[in-house]
Structure 1
């Protein structure tokens, strides 16, 4: 069995390929994989009873595994007709975040980091992505979070403006007047000397 990291060739995303000799089974010493069981069974059903000899999936054996983070696809070859087919463990859909980006989002949402998730998956014996691959997905997720946050803020502002107009709370120019409460904080520490952070946070809340 041989593994190849081609991350330095294409992009920071790590791609690991594993090729199996005919006399060596991919099932030997294999770790766990993340899979969509419904999608996996659907693909197995599609390649069963394949022409020209109506061979079944039981006549096929794995010859190649391709991993990119938590995404995995496995190539099978039929020992009867020599036909080769590839099965994806998780369906890839256009316009949606893949499983790697979803995990990066979950990591950010729970206040964790790469080391925590990597250790957890290692205990579960699930291969994880490299740190460089994770950081790329993390950056993509950060952009999505920012875009979503601005969209929510804009929608909330439009709704508040509509309510203000309905209540007649507008100025002479007809601009909606929305009452808000503001507050701000910044960190202060004292380790025998005073320390004030140069940054802080401000919150604006609608006053209903």
Structure 2
């Protein structure tokens, strides 16, 4: 996350006397366990946003990883919700959980099918 902050801030501050202290968090948006942060420079009004985790399509995001982990250890959404509540972590909605769980199951079935055909 800090790499993203510096990457965005460094791109914005070229040739301007803006400093990091002028950046203000103006909004955020959650998508399950991911959070998108929106910043605005109070000096020049430059706006930027980034996700708390890189959005790399080749890797599973944290929502998919959490759903897969629940399936792997044999728990469902309710148990995940209780676990995250006990740790004081905002958790994903049941709809997001089911979408990620079902997607992971489909990927695993496809891999198993491909392996058995070879």
Q: TM-score, normalised by structure 2?
A: 0.87
Residue among 130, 134, 138 paired with 2:93: 130
CA contact under 8 A between 1:44 and 1:57: conserved in structure 2? no
Q: CA RMSD in A?
A: 1.6
The separation in 2 between residues aligned to 1:61 and 1:104, in whole angstroms, is 33
- How far does residue 53 in structure 1 lie from its aligned partner after superposition? 2.1
Q: Which has the larger radius of gyration?
A: 1
Which runs of no fewer than 5 residues in structure 2 stay unpaired? none
| Structure 2 counterparts to residues 9-158 of structure 1, below 5 A | 40-49=1-10, 50-51=13-14, 53-155=16-118
The separation in 1 between residues aligned to 2:96 and 2:6, in whole angstroms, is 33
CA contact under 8 A between 1:59 and 1:79: conserved in structure 2? yes
* Compared CA separation, residues 58 and 139, structure 1 to 2 (3 A): same
**Equivalent residue of 1:94, what SS?**
coil
Post-superposition, which runs of at least 4 consecutive aligned residues in structure 1 deviate over 6 A?
none
Which runs of no fewer than 5 residues in structure 1 stay unpaired? 1-39, 156-208
Q: Give 1 or 2: higher strand fraction.
A: 1
Aligned length: 116
